Amino acid sequence: MKRLRLLLRLLSIERVLVRHGLDDLIRATHLLRPVRFVLLLWPGSWGRTRHEGPRAVRIREALEELGPIFVKFGQSLSTRPDLLPDDVAAELAKLQDQVPPFPADQAREILEQAYGRPPEQVFAAFEPEALAAASIAQVHAARLQSGEEVVVKILRPGVQQLIERDIEVLYAIAGLANRYWPEARRLRPVEVVEEYDKTCKAELDLMREAANCTQLRRNFKGSAQIYVPDIYWDYCNDRAMVQERIYGIPINQMDALQAAGANIPKLAAHGVEIFFTQVFRDNFFHADMHPGNIFVDVSDPDNPRYAAVDFGIVGTLEDRDRRYLAENFIAFFDYDYQRVAQLHVDSGWVPKGTRVDELEAAVRTVCEPIMNKPLKEISFGQVMMRLLQVARQFDMEIQPQLILLQKTLLQIEGLGRELYPELDLWETGRPVLKRWMAEQTGPEATAKRLARDLPDIRYTLEHLPAVARKLVDQIIANNGELPLPDRQSMRDREMRQFRVIAGAALLVAGALLIGLDVEPDWLGWLASSAGLLSLYIGRPET
């Protein structure tokens, strides 16, 4: 049954492409070739009128008909007009906030189920026609009884089932790739789909999105660079989310920004700083940065401020990955390609036997031509393609946990390219990263780590005197030697003494490492733990 569902879905995808006159895409897509002839023999496709119109319009309409995952794909492509024909880029941009909305009566019905009463009784005013619509949800303008202007976000009816259906197709394709594609071990398609699956499910959880918005607002409270709207929790549930309404100029309306006198270079630089701040300072970044989700407040044109919406997709990284990324970026900024290569080996992103000098030479070949160039002369898309070739050469495994970050970085580049092509990404990002790295190794960071680990430190210190006193009492009672059974062999006695001495040395060394804030910070705790364990193993048996 599952295989039949997958086959029918593949047939339906091909049928939509044929109906919109996109046969070239089918011929170019190896996955669809085997079922193309089945479709041609299917009576339901005979005599169907081919969709007419400009190619770009047909592509957009086909993506809209195929469903949310395909619309998301189109949105991501739309952020990179430098990689697309002009007509296609302009048309795909409509997927950012001009997806056809679902009917107003359906929206009212959903809200009535969510609140147990019609929306007109919940809000002082409610606009039944959608203010904006996207692949997952749409928003309606409203006003609270207390007077605040808000937007009400509602999931599309049946969207969860549609996404689950296409995710199932992606898992099937990834499974086939694992079995039959030699590159699958390195590119890990199943793990990639798993990451995408988690991202999609998170985007369907409106309460989670509200919490994401609240966290991001807290992170940038009082910021002169970005404003994050407030959430009205009393009106939020799993069917609807209510947040402060944002006014501003959409980020991609350059004519309007210029007419308002906005300081475009400053705005572009702030965008890069915000990205690096979210990733490295906060470890919490907005990961759906297409233009439909970003506005600009130009009330002070010389100091324009971003205003973000749609927080369904946010990213976080493990501390280890975040630190390696920061060190990689800084090494790039400093032209230290040997350090970049060594970090890739140390992190396990390339096999342990990789020759650092050979990897260094390959990375230098890719990166040196773009350093210190303005954004208009750089394409990270092309750079990433060349880096993927390097990755294949050195058997580098893909890191699924970094895919969301890479996608966001490409979106940031696309926005920056439209805003201010003269922007130097490297020089803009370098101070933020340098500051973050300094904070990680300074006294304040040490104090924060000690405060975080205080319960563990307190527990260890509370129990250490009792353990040490008991051990000392036993040694004194045994004439200065470890109390051992009379018939214990000399070898066992010496081993116990060694364990006690080594344990004490490790305990002291661990305390020094912690106190001196030696990196990596876990080394001191490891030494202390090993010392206590050695003392425990070496204790006299009773």
Distance CA 119, CA 150 (A): 13
Residue 85's pLDDT is 73
Distance CA 203, CA 155 (A): 10
Average pLDDT on 139-152 reads 96
pLDDT band at 313 (very low <50, low <70, confident <90, very high): confident
Distance CA 399, CA 389 (A): 15
Structure tokens given for 54: 């400009």
* pTM listed for this prediction: 0.70
Residue 354's pLDDT is 86
* Choice between 526 and 394, residue whose per-residue pLDDT is larger: 394
Distance CA 411, CA 432 (A): 19
Phi, psi of 532 (to 5 degrees): -60, -40
* Choice between 415 and 253, residue whose per-residue pLDDT is larger: 253
Helix or strand holding residue 60 (H, E): helix 55-66
Using CB atoms within 10 A of its CB, is residue 171 exposed (0-12), middle (13-18) or buried (19+)?
A: middle
Q: Would you list the DSSP string of 423-442?
A: --HHHHHHHHHHHHHHHHHS
Residue type, 101: P
pLDDT band at 292 (very low <50, low <70, confident <90, very high): confident
Distance CA 369, CA 355 (A): 23
pLDDT in tens, 199-238: 888 888 999 999 999 999 999 999 999 999 999 999 999 9
Residue 32's pLDDT is 45
Catalytic residues: 288
Residue 68's pLDDT is 77
Mean pLDDT (the chain) is: 77
Helix or strand holding residue 226 (H, E): strand 226-227
Q: Which of 18-27, 314-323, 446-455 has the highest mean predicted lDDT (pLDDT)?
A: 314-323
Pairing between β-strand 226-227 and β-strand 305-308 as defined by DSSP bridges: parallel
Residue 299's pLDDT is 94
Residue 206's pLDDT is 95
pLDDT in tens, 96-117: 666 788 999 999 999 999 999 9
Average pLDDT on 379-399 reads 66
Helix or strand holding residue 244 (H, E): strand 240-244
Closest CA to 460 of 533, 517, 520: 533
Distance between first and last Cα of the chain: 65
Residue 160's pLDDT is 87
pLDDT in tens, 437-478: 777 766 665 666 666 666 766 666 666 677 667 766 777 777
Average pLDDT on 324-352 reads 83
Q: Would you list the DSSP string of 333-374?
A: HTT-HHHHHHHHHHTTSS-TT--HHHHHHHHHHHHGGGTT--
Residue 481's pLDDT is 63
Residue 41's pLDDT is 46
Residue 184, CA distances (Å) to 33, 193, 231 in order: 21, 12, 43
pLDDT band at 295 (very low <50, low <70, confident <90, very high): very high
**For residue 29, is pLDDT > 50?**
no
